[in-house]
């Protein structure tokens, strides 16, 4: 299993404030961007990053709004799925392997990782979760996963929190 850890050289916190509307003192919409790193250990794996995202949301102090979790890589992805039974992640990766074989006649990309690029596009590079009363509105069995399709590597995850 890969390990998600906070980045030593996080880009820090950029914060923009804008008024919520005319004559509503004290209510400010905030946009805060943070970043952490995930070290993956296998060529393909799903790393649960729910705790890291929750911690970053907590740090911002935003009580109501949303968080976007974004992966700036072309051979990885972000998804939300079951975090109770680890077999689910195994089966998702197995099904993706079957749908997108590692090698097949016709691939042109010279790096030899066309399967990883295809899986990245299929799964998608971001997820958005609503924040209510300071908590992520995930379902009881849902977790946020970083999906590695061409590891092992050190990867970046960017988190943007918006709200008040």
Q: Is residue 111 a contact point for Zn ion (CB under 5 A)?
A: yes
**Smallest distance from the beta carbon of 115 to Zn ion, in angstroms?**
10
Count of residues binding Zn ion (CB under 5 A)? 2
Does residue 44 bind Zn ion (CB under 5 A)? no
Q: Does 110 bind Zn ion (CB under 5 A)?
A: no
The structure tokens 């705790």 sit at 51
CB closer to Zn ion out of 18 and 110: 110
Considering the complex, state which of residue 19 and residue 124 has its C-beta at the smaller distance from Zn ion.
124
- Minimum gap (Å) between residue 78 Cβ and Zn ion: 19
- Tell the smallest beta-carbon distance from residue 113 to Zn ion (Å): 4
Q: How far apart are CA 103 and CA 97, in angstroms?
A: 10
Q: Are 101 and 115 in contact (CB under 8 A)?
A: yes
Between residues 29 and 107, which has the closer beta carbon with respect to Zn ion?
A: 107
Stretch binding Zn ion (CB under 5 A), from 43-51, 84-92, 105-113, 132-140:
105-113
Please say which residue, 86 or 101, places its beta carbon nearer to Zn ion: 101
Is residue 113 within the footprint of Zn ion (CB under 5 A)?
yes
Per-residue DSSP letters for the chain? --EEE--TT----EEEEEESSTT-TT-EEEEEEEEEEEE--SSSEEEE-HHHHHHHHHHHT--SEEEEEE---SSEEEEEEE-S-THHHHHHHHHHHHHS-SS-TT---TTS-HHHHHHHHHH-SEEEEEEETTEE---TTEEEEEEESS-S-EEEEEEEEEE-
Considering only 15-23, 29-37, 51-59, 106-114, which stretch makes contact with Zn ion by CB under 5 A? 106-114
Binding site for Zn ion (CB under 5 A): 111, 113
């Amino acid at each position: 299993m890969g390990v998600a850890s906070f980045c030593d050289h996080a880009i820090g916190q950029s914060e923009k404030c804008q008024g919520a509307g005319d004559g509503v003192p004290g209510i400010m919409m905030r946009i805060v961007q943070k970043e952490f790193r995930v070290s993956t250990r296998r060529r393909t794996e799903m790393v649960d990053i729910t705790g890291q995202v929750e911690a970053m949301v907590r740090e911002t102090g935003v009580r109501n709004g949303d968080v976007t979790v974004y992966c700036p890589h072309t051979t990885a992805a972000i998804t939300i799925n079951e975090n109770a039974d680890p077999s689910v992640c195994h089966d998702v990766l197995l099904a993706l392997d079957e749908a997108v074989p590692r090698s097949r006649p016709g691939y042109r990309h010279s790096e030899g990782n066309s399967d990883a690029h295809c899986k990245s596009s299929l799964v998608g590079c971001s997820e958005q979760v609503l924040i209510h009363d300071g908590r992520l509105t995930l379902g009881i069995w849902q977790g946020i996963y970083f999906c590695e399709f061409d590891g092992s590597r050190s990867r970046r995850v960017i988190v943007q929190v918006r709200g008040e």
